[in-house]
Structure 1
Amino acid sequence: MTIKLSSESLTHLPSSVAAPKYRRSDLTPGILHFGVGNFHRAHQAVYLDDLFNAGIDRDWALVGAGVFEGERVGRDKLASQDFLTTVVEQDDGHVQARVTGAMVDFLVPGDSAAIIRRLADPAIRIVSLTITEGGYFIDPASGKFNPEHPAIVADAADIDRPSTVFGMILAGLKRRRQAGTPAFTIMSCDNIPHNGHVTSDAIIGLARIADDGLADWVRENVAFPNGMVDRITPATTDRERAILADKFGVEDNWPVFCEPFRQWVLEDNFPAGRPALEKAGVQFVDDVSPFELMKIRILNGGHATIAYPAGLMDIHFVHEAMQEPLVRAFLAKLERDDIIPTVPPVPGVVLDDYFELIEKRLSNPKIGDTVRRLCLDGSNRQPKFIIPTIADRLKEGAAVEGLALESALWCRYCFGTTESGAKIAPNDPNWDRLLTTARAALADPAAWLAMEDIYGEVGRSPVFVEAFGVALKALWRDGTRETLGRYLEGGL
């Protein structure tokens, strides 16, 4: 028999499932969060839940928000269980389930009027974001905010009726300015280098188009701390719901399964106040840059390294990819030869030890993370996780053969079929374009690198163009396995 998750059932949970140690009626909201997905509920919400369990800062509860119609499905699932979430941490030697209650409301996604009203509420002192790497209106080639995006232009023309997340935030700030209410802090929790600066560029860039005076006020009054976040959190499927019901006796519409490891490094720049997150394990530093560069290049770059060869080999789960000797060896060689040498020293961290931890995390068989998830959205992820490393290697005059092979594997994946001939379902917002370009690259590899908005100067480097061409032709001539084997044995 299972217990359906709700506020009423919290006192009846099985003994194997930890319940909140606080009365949720004692919580008051202090943070509005855009992008209520699995990562947020396994990361920021868990840190806050830890604080609330310790009797600390219960005026910093979460209110969820979203801008897309598709987010209503998740909102309705959570609303039906009083915004509670079961978080299951597991690896080979550890399984633990807990119910978190840090979220007290979730506004209807796309209801800009309701969201703006809540943003104007003085109780909201932090607005946080997990809107994915592709949600910041960044031009991939330049790495800068694109003020000419049609959605941004539309919001700037009528900032009181916005449709984007940045338009809603700016409309909320506009009301606070008019009312004499102090500004809130805006905290990105996405995997983007200098995510605070990127968010600042988007908000102020939009404001500059709409109202110079408002832009100046935002620049002078709003803080945008940089941060690095980390926890492997795959998507929820019927598999996870069934495991939770069978092993723990809890029926949850949208549980989160994740690894035990979690990390959060933040700049301490919160003029409107913040919860005492350091008491829950958050590391506050003066400069997040070394930590975020380490994570983005070694972990996220590592994700991309194993994703595409595994996808082409029809491997389903990430831990299965790590069990494939060719994939695991490719990851280790590319990391140690090409990626880690581009990462500057990080305070208190031995980079080789950090990579060994990542190998262990990626090998966790209990998470059920999928290769397809790692392959997702390469057009946004490659320019952030891989191409800057290539650029640094080229500047140093260092070898780029391994990175060219990674890029060629992405191109081969975007051709739309695996090595077995199985069709790859669309897996990128720009899939049609990538599919067309990958097919053109079959005859002319340089066509792939000519995607200026993705590759920029890297795509014009004769050294990289040559290395990429050699790698792509090898993949088509010899297949993924033989090409990886030759690279590992000494070169293509």
Structure 2
Amino acid sequence: MEKLSYKTLRMLGYKGYLLEKAPEKILQFGEGNFLRAFVDYWFDMANEKAGFNGKAVLIQPIRTGLTEQINTQQGLYTLYLRGSEKGRRIDDKRVISSVSRCLNPYDTEDFDKMMEVAASDDLQYIVSNTTEAGIVYDPSCRREDRPASSFPGKVTQILLHRFEAGKEPLIILSCELIDNNGKELKKCVEQYIDHWKLSDAFHNWCEKCTFCSTLVDRIVPGRVHDPKTKSEMDRANGYEDDLIDVGECFGVWIIEGSSGLENVLPFKKAGLNVQVVSDVTPYKQRKVRILNGAHTGFALGAYLAGFNIVRDCMHDETIKGFMNKMLFDEVIPTLPLEQQDLEAFAAAVEDRFNNPFINHELLSISLNSTSKWRARNMPSFLEYTEKKNKLPTCLTMSLAAYIAFYSNDIQERSEKGLSCRRDDGIIYIVSDDAWILDFYNEHKNSTEEELVHAVLCNVKMWGRNLTDVPDLEQTVTMYLKKIHEDGAKEAFAFCL
């Protein structure tokens, strides 16, 4: 079987969209699964739908990566977008042709090629996803390094080279999963300007570059590792593809910038779900409190009720009903965006959780649930309580379910975590910070009243004493007893 290439596709009579040659307009730091299923997909669609006519040069951000595989396949790969939309099973695929090549800047020749792209008249964008640890200032980086070890150091080298070549400023789209990713990258670049004693003229030129903070949202399980599944996909496609990528069909890219930026970017013209907004913060709140908050809000109780994966929960009217009541009645009223926008996003959550292609385990969601409940659910809980002057039923139950999950028939405390027993006899491991696991282990013989009081007044856990919230201690204790006596599913049903 032939390797995926433009020649192979021509031989097979491939009928899908392809763009074989185009100017290299994007310099992309990161060649992994997420960026190829997200950013490169959007630009591929912009090429097809809006005549963007641009290619991305991928930069391998660390010493080892996919450079060889990408160049062997001429930048081509098959992307599967799978999931559920309004209850309808979606299984789409397309060959992505928005990538021209990949460079490894730790190779001397490729470093020079990267700098050639940096000084090109065609270049318009820098895009990145170098993980949460990527946007970090490292003072050991030097201007003359080839390349600088840190990602912001590399960006400063590229911008300086472009400035010295007399070229136009760039639009920089940061996709790392940290708050204010674009602002943080710009801050690091400014630190290098100071540290390397670069000119005021260069600093002023950098001010004309547009550093955009962005919010990315698409679940990307990534490459197919099972040899049998991979072989079946290759056979169905008629070519060998070592870069097959898989993502969910849902996707949205929120980009912070001025109103004029929307007309500069190629996505609006292509009719894509890429939005330019003045402030990305409320959209991050929407994602964290609705999507992530839904996971944390029902997953622990659902696991205690005997469920193991997210999709099965969406086929149970009690668990699904609990999640939807929590989102629509308790979370959405606390958020600042338009009601219609929030309700549409929440409605899509059910489809995303019902993805027939992803077996998302509830136990994987349960990792570090203390900090997750504090970050994802507690803000909605507190704002609802303050706004309505009463407790939100489902969010309060989710707190009781969290306590039940961490304390259910504790067997032992070991290096692996805290071993607990589910009602059906299955032993599961609670994973969290050591001090949290020690806390629950120390309270394994406490009464419900004692345990709830100890949890709620633990300021280290929540950043405040939650026993100050009127009626919370008594209500959580009542819910915890209900979970113990009637089971978690009956407790969820009680909320409905």
Identify which range, 374-383 or 279-288, moves more after superposition.
Answer: 374-383
The match for 1:299 is: 291
Change (3 A) 1:168 1:451: farther
Q: Structure 2 unaligned runs (5+)?
A: 407-416, 444-450
The match for 1:184 is: 170
CA deviation map 1:221-241 (0-9, x unaligned): 331224343333323333552
Change (3 A) 1:400 1:54: closer
Change (3 A) 1:245 1:451: farther
Deviation at 1:20, TM superposition (A): 3.7
2:251 corresponds to 1:262: yes
CA deviation map 1:187-246 (0-9, x unaligned): 123455554344444544665666586795476233122434333332333355255235
Match 1:173 to one of 156, 159, 162: 159
The match for 2:92 is: 96
2:114 corresponds to 1:122: no
CA distance in 1, matches of 2:334, 2:38: 28
Deviation at 1:5, TM superposition (A): 2.2
CA distance in 1, matches of 2:495, 2:46: 52
Change (3 A) 1:75 1:3: same
1:28-427 equivalences in 2 (<5 Å)? 28-54=23-49, 56-58=51-53, 60-68=54-62, 72=65, 74-90=66-82, 91=84, 92-108=88-104, 114=110, 118=114, 121-123=118-120, 124-132=123-131, 134-135=132-133, 152=137, 155-160=138-143, 161=145, 162-190=148-176, 194-204=180-190, 217=204, 220-239=207-226, 241-242=230-231, 244-245=233-234, 247-267=236-256, 275-282=265-272, 283-289=274-280, 290-309=282-301, 317-346=309-338, 349-369=340-360, 371=362, 374=365, 385-386=376-377, 388-390=379-381, 392-393=383-384, 396=387, 399=391, 402-403=394-395, 406=398, 412=405, 415=418, 419=422, 421-422=426-427
2:18 corresponds to 1:21: yes
Deviation at 1:82, TM superposition (A): 2.9
CA distance in 2, matches of 1:300, 1:321: 15
User: Is the 1:33–1:64 contact (alpha carbons within 8 Å) kept by the matching residues of 2?
Assistant: yes
Q: What secondary structure, in the 3-state scheme, does the structure 1 residue paired with 2:249 have?
A: coil
CA distance in 2, matches of 1:182, 1:408: 56
User: Is the 2:26–2:126 contact (alpha carbons within 8 Å) kept by the matching residues of 1?
Assistant: yes
CA deviation map 1:155-204 (0-9, x unaligned): 22334343332232233334444554443222123455554344444544
The match for 1:145 is: none
* Counterpart code for 2:46: L
* Counterpart code for 1:233: V
Change (3 A) 1:311 1:28: farther
Deviation at 1:54, TM superposition (A): 4.8
Q: Return the index of the structure with the highest Cα Rg.
A: 2
CA distance in 2, matches of 1:338, 1:42: 33
User: Is the 2:141–2:150 contact (alpha carbons within 8 Å) kept by the matching residues of 1?
Assistant: no
Change (3 A) 1:88 1:352: same
CA distance in 1, matches of 2:154, 2:477: 44
- TM-score, normalising length: structure 2: 0.73
User: Is the 1:62–1:104 contact (alpha carbons within 8 Å) kept by the matching residues of 2?
Assistant: yes
The match for 2:410 is: none
Q: CA RMSD in A?
A: 4.6
- TM-score, normalising length: structure 1: 0.73
Deviation at 1:356, TM superposition (A): 1.9
Identity %: 20
CA deviation map 1:372-416 (0-9, x unaligned): 665578798667644544564466466367546656767857746
Q: What secondary structure, in the 3-state scheme, does the structure 2 residue paired with 1:280 have?
A: coil
Change (3 A) 1:389 1:193: farther
The match for 1:486 is: 491
CA distance in 2, matches of 1:217, 1:83: 35
The match for 1:9 is: 8
* Counterpart code for 1:361: R
User: Is the 1:86–1:99 contact (alpha carbons within 8 Å) kept by the matching residues of 2?
Assistant: yes
